[in-house]
Amino acid sequence: MELLIVFISALLINNFVLHYFLGICPFIGVSNRLDSAISMGMAVTFVMTIASAVSWLIYYLILVPFRVEFLEIVSFILVIASLVQVVEMFIKKASPPLYQALGIYLPLITTNCAILGVALISVLKEYSFIETLVFSLGAGLGFALAITIMAGIREELEFADVPETLKGPGITLITAGILALAFMGFSGLIK
């Protein structure tokens, strides 16, 4: 039950894009086409779950016993950067079709603040290992959900008559605002 609450709240209520404002850069940058948005969402979910599991292990098995918690930021970012490389190499060898689909998005993920954000927030909230896994999976799927909805809307927006100077980031942000309003409706789901 606890786990379900963690999952739902990461997925819908405290959606990473629309509530924590993490991963805004890909959210604006890669949301103009539906299929690439879905691939990006999947790639983020995948890396996010692995990255937060590894960061959790590093934090509680290395940093805490040696009392060097202040190295958290440096070690997490290095872990994520090298992990993305390893994942990329692994997928390339193990599953070429998957690499074809996710390939170009993987390097971009290193600078995705949502990945580091999930690792930091799980430490901040003192989640257990299992909770961290569920939390990061929920957060990743939440990101995928938000970017997919956004891409769907933006494909329709192509045909709308948007003022020249509002095109691009401007209209995307205002649309995201309306989405955020809609997602506020979920907040009654959990007390």
Partner 1 sequence: MNLLKEFIKGWWKENPVFVMVLGTCPTLAVTNSVKNAIGMIAAVAFVLLGSSFIVSLIRKIVPNQVRIATFIVVIATFVTMADRYLAAFYPQLSKALGPYVPLIVVNCIILGRQEAFASKNGVLASVLDALGMSIGFGIALMLMGSVREILGSGTWLGMKVFGSWYIPWQVMILPAGAFFVFGFLIWGFNSINKAFAKR
What are the residues binding partner 1 (CB under 8 A)?
A: 18-22, 24-25, 28, 70-74, 77-78, 81, 111-113, 116-117, 120-121, 124, 163-166, 169-174, 176-178, 180-181, 184
| Cβ atoms < 10 Å from Cβ of 133 | 19
CA distance 16 to 118: 9
Compute the least distance from the CB of residue 91 to partner 1, in Å: 21
Nearest Cα residue to 51 out of 93, 22, 14, 81: 81
Compute the least distance from the CB of residue 168 to partner 1, in Å: 8
Would you give the distance in Å from CA 94 to the centre of its chain? Answer: 24
Region of 148 (left: φ > 0; alpha: ψ -120 to 50; beta: rest) is alpha
In the bound state with partner 1, the residue whose beta carbon lies nearer, of 119 and 141, is 119
Compute the least distance from the CB of residue 116 to partner 1, in Å: 5
* Contact status, residue 12 vs residue 189, Cβ threshold 8 Å: yes
Task: Say how many residues make up the chain.
Answer: 191
In the bound state with partner 1, the residue whose beta carbon lies nearer, of 64 and 73, is 73
Compute the least distance from the CB of residue 187 to partner 1, in Å: 10
In the bound state with partner 1, the residue whose beta carbon lies nearer, of 100 and 125, is 125
- Token output for 34: 């539906």
In the bound state with partner 1, the residue whose beta carbon lies nearer, of 64 and 74, is 74
